[in-house]
Structures are given as C-alpha cells and as structure tokens.
Amino acid sequence: MPQTPPPLSITVSVSFQSDSSQVERGDYRFSYRIRITNTATMAVQIVGRHWLIHNAHGEQQEVHGLGVVGQQPLLAVGETFEYTSGCHLSTATGTMQGRYLCVTETAEAFECPIPLFELNAQGHTTPTPVWPDEPADPAQRVLH
C-alpha cells in the first residue's frame, strides 16, 4: 500500500558557527534554517514541536515546546514559512530529527516528521540559502 506523503514539505540547511563556538571546551554551536511549505489541500497551523538531538557519544537531548521560535504559523495551501534557530553540542558531530504538531482548519490534529539531518563542525557545513520574502506573514495568523 503506498504511503501518504506528509502534508508539509520540510527542507533544512545547517551551518557550524565557529565564531560563537568554544571548541577547546567542547562547545560546538550550529544554526539551522528550516523552510516549511504546506502541500496539503487545506490550511495547516504548526502548534508545537518535538526534537531529538544526538551528539557523537550517543547522548540524547529532547526539546518540546509550543510553536516554532515563539510563533504558531498558519500556512494556507502552498504557503511557506521559514525560520532560523540553533543548538549546541558537546561533540563536533551529531544529528537532529523531530516532528511538528499540527492542526488543520477542520480541527484535525496530526504530526509531521522532520527528517534526520546532520550537524558537522568538521568542514561540512551547508550554506544557509536565501529565499525571497513571502508576501504575507503566516506567523501572525491564528487558526484556533
């Protein structure tokens, strides 16, 4: 049976922040930029997130919270929301993955997975892409 694609398209780019890291103390800082596009057939609001962050020693950190970067964006069909955030690790490499907690305009709750991505301070950073400004600010609209 074919699997239904998630109603949100998520792309991530990661950058190691060498100028704010303290490598000699085991403090590696990363920024990541996430672009979320609503590929569903109705409006979707992101109301929460859950992250699993692993360092190279297999230690895990969990992060739960409402919205993303203090906002609960409402995305109309085809609309995009992007934000930049960050994390720090005690090792030069690690991974992040998670899920967004969402609700549709018909009050159906669902989770959308955030695919695993790599954090790597050893010269393998992905430049943060520059996307054109969106015409409307979806973070300012509220569905509930």
CATH number at residue 113: 2.60.40.1470
Domain span at residue 95? 10-125
Residue 134 covered by a domain: no
Residue 77 covered by a domain: yes
Radius of gyration of the chain measured on its C-alpha atoms:
16
Residues of the chain with pLDDT under 70: 1-5, 123-144
Residue 31 covered by a domain: yes
pLDDT of residue 122: 85
Residue 19 covered by a domain: yes
Residue 21 covered by a domain: yes
Closest C-alpha among 23, 28, 127 to residue 87: 28
* Domains contained in the chain, number: 1
pLDDT tens figures, 110-124: 999 999 999 999 864
Q: Give the number of other Cβ atoms within 10 Å of residue 106's Cβ.
A: 7
pLDDT of residue 6: 75
pTM for the full predicted model: 0.81
Closest C-alpha among 20, 13, 18 to residue 126: 13
Closest C-alpha among 19, 30, 25, 37 to residue 61: 30
Q: Which residues pair with 98 in a beta bridge?
A: 51, 114
Residue 4 covered by a domain: no
